[in-house]
């Protein structure tokens, strides 16, 4: 074992309380929530009471102003347990940081306390039916009309879409200006004209309320513009390394846990009168996966350490997301194989993890887009 150096004693105490909470409040219900397509809304409020939401939020707005290690611990514990219905990572690591980093004092005062308490669930709506990887192709528009913007368009695949009370919407305020005409708006879910569509029927992550959202002449007060008009694309680029690190952290935590479940399984399961663990193929597979897990863990921890010091660059975050999620999917596939037919049964955590993990290579920027980012950095002049 290579000892981890990214967490201190307080972090580990926090981990202990997250772990106990998940065991008590989530484990008994997650399978039912998968059938219902979403977690119980009250889970968010309970998590808020426990201080699990938005650990980095400033003290001035009721937050604990902790380091990103606390977010990482929540991500790891959810990754380790496979409770993928819980959208706290999207809320704490991705959406709320936009308000913290680009919001006005008024916006922070209005929303942050309730984001921390779980009274407000957030989402971020970039993707549209016709625009995913190519965000410059967003067609949702926000046209200024007096003191408001009039928002029209539709979004799809939005995490926390059903529970969301506040959505950061990526819209064109100047469609002719391309990326420079993109802005971010804070849209409250009860705004007239804002409709939540279908809770999408996915291959995995079945308790996650990934949804369509529709905006039909929604009046958004100009005061709900996040940051400056036309700067939305730049803000998205600035926030993406943390989003990708968060995905990488959950990927390696899930991979490590799945390997552990598989070790337990192959020791128990017998074929040809001997434990599956006694076959050399099993031993070699486990050894290969464990070696890769160790290397991946060291790399992702180093990225986390860099992120503590705000030194994690865009290309390195892309490498972390690319490698960790490709590896997670490869490991889970091998682990399903070692489980035989049981590995394909939904009641086995390994089957769920295999299905849940597939999207890790798709969202937060597909792994092909990660390769574009990495190679662009390598090939740039100067
Ligand atoms: C469960 C889930 C949750 C999600 N949550 C959110 C969310 O909360 N908010 C949000 O805004 N979005 C969310 N998404 C959307 C996600 O980010 C997009 O699906 C993703 O960015 C890919 O976009 P797309 O689906 O339009 O695929 P496309 O962009 O159509 O890509 C199709 C294929 O073409 C490849 N491709 C595209 N462009 C290039 C290129 N230039 N070079 C090489 N290959 C290329 C892609 O890599 C992919 O393999 C979520 C998606 C899922 C499935």
Summarize pLDDT for 288-341 with one digit per residue, the tens: 999 999 999 999 999 999 999 999 999 999 999 999 999 999 999 999 999 999
pTM over 0.85: yes
Q: Dmax over Cα atoms in the chain, in whole Å?
A: 78
The CA R_g of the chain, rounded to the nearest whole Å, is: 21
CA of 262 to the centre of ligand 1 (A): 31
Q: Ligand 1, closest atom to CA 364?
A: 17
pLDDT at position 73: 98
How much is the average pLDDT of 47-52? Answer: 98
> Which of 137, 214, 215, 224 minimizes the C-alpha distance to 175?
137
Helix (H, G, I), strand (E, B) or coil at 355: helix
Q: Strand 122-125 to strand 166-172: parallel, antiparallel, or no bridges (unpaired)? A: parallel
pLDDT at 382 over 80: no
Q: Strand 182-188 to strand 194-199: parallel, antiparallel, or no bridges (unpaired)? A: unpaired
> Which of 354, 329, 328, 325 minimizes the C-alpha distance to 339?
354
Q: Confirm if 181 and 173 have CB atoms less than 8 A apart.
A: yes
Strand residue runs (E) in the chain: 122-125, 141-145, 148-158, 166-172, 182-188, 194-199, 211-221, 225-226, 270-271, 274-275
Ramachandran quadrant class, 217 (left: phi over 0; alpha: psi -120 to 50; beta: rest): left
pLDDT at position 1: 82
CA of 254 to the centre of ligand 1 (A): 22
Q: How far apart are CA 320 and CA 299, in angstroms?
A: 8
How much is the average pLDDT of 101-111? Answer: 98
127 CB less than 6 Å from ligand 1?
yes
Q: How far apart are CA 370 and CA 378, in angstroms?
A: 13
CA of 133 to the centre of ligand 1 (A): 5
Task: Name the residue of 123, 133, 158 whose CB sits within 8 Å of the most ligand 1 atoms, as the mutation to test its pocket.
Answer: 133
Q: Is 243 a catalytic residue?
A: yes
CA of 307 to the centre of ligand 1 (A): 25
Q: Whose CA is nearest to atom 2 of ligand 1?
A: 157
pLDDT at 121 over 90: yes
68 CB less than 6 Å from ligand 1?
no
213 CB less than 6 Å from ligand 1?
no
Q: Note the pLDDT tens digit of each residue in 74-98.
A: 999 999 999 999 999 999 999 999 9
Catalytic annotation, pick one of 25, 34, 239, 243: 243
Summary mean pLDDT of the chain: 97
pLDDT at position 178: 87
Q: Note the pLDDT tens digit of each residue in 171-187.
A: 999 999 989 999 999 99
Q: Confirm if 43 and 86 have CB atoms less than 8 A apart.
A: yes
Cα separation of the two ends of the chain: 40
Q: Note the pLDDT tens digit of each residue in 228-267.
A: 999 999 999 999 899 999 999 999 999 999 999 999 999 9
Stretch among 14-18, 358-362, 378-382 having the lowest mean pLDDT: 378-382
pLDDT at position 164: 98
Q: Ligand 1, closest atom to CA 369?
A: 47
Task: Name the residue of 97, 157, 232 whose CB sits within 8 Å of the most ligand 1 atoms, as the mutation to test its pocket.
Answer: 157
205 CB less than 6 Å from ligand 1?
yes
pLDDT at 375 over 90: yes
pLDDT at position 374: 98
């Amino acid at each position: 074992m290579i000892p981890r150096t990214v967490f201190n004693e307080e972090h580990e105490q926090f981990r202990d309380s997250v772990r106990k909470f998940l065991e008590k409040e989530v484990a008994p219900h997650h399978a039912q929530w998968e059938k219902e397509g979403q977690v119980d809304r009250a889970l968010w409020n309970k998590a808020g009471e426990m201080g699990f939401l938005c650990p980095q939020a400033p003290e001035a707005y009721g937050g604990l102003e902790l380091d990103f290690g606390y977010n990482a611990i929540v991500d790891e514990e959810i990754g380790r347990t496979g409770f993928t219905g819980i959208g706290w990572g999207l809320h704490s690591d991705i959406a709320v940081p936009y308000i913290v980093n680009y919001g006005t004092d008024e916006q922070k005062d209005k929303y942050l306390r309730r984001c921390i308490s779980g009274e407000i669930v957030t989402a971020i709506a970039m993707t549209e039916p016709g625009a995913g990887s190519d965000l410059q192709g967003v067609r949702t528009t926000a046209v200024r009309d007096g003191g408001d913007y009039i928002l029209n368009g539709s979004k799809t695949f939005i995490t926390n879409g059903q529970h969301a009370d506040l959505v950061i919407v990526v819209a064109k305020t100047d469609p002719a200006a391309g990326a420079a005409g993109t802005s971010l708006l804070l849209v409250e879910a009860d705004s007239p004209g804002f409709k939540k569509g279908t809770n999408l029927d996915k291959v995995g992550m079945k308790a996650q309320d990934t949804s369509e959202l529709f905006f039909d002449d929604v009046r958004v007060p100009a005061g709900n513009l996040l940051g400056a008009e036309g700067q939305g694309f730049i803000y998205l680029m600035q926030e993406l390394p943390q989003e990708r690190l968060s995905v990488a952290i959950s990927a390696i935590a899930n991979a490590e846990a799945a390997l552990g479940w598989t070790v337990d399984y192959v020791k128990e399961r017998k074929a040809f009168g001997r434990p599956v663990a006694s076959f050399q193929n099993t031993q070699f597979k486990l050894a290969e996966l464990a070696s890769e897990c160790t290397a991946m863990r060291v790399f992702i921890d180093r990225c986390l350490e860099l992120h503590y010091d705000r030194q994690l660059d865009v290309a390195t975050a892309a490498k972390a997301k690319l490698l960790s999620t490709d590896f997670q999917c490869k490991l889970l596939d091998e682990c399903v194989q070692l489980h035989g037919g049981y590995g394909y049964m939904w009641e086995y955590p390994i089957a769920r993890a295999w299905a849940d993990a597939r999207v890790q290579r798709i969202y937060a920027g597909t792994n092909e887009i990660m390769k574009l980012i990495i190679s662009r950095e390598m090939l740039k002049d100067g």
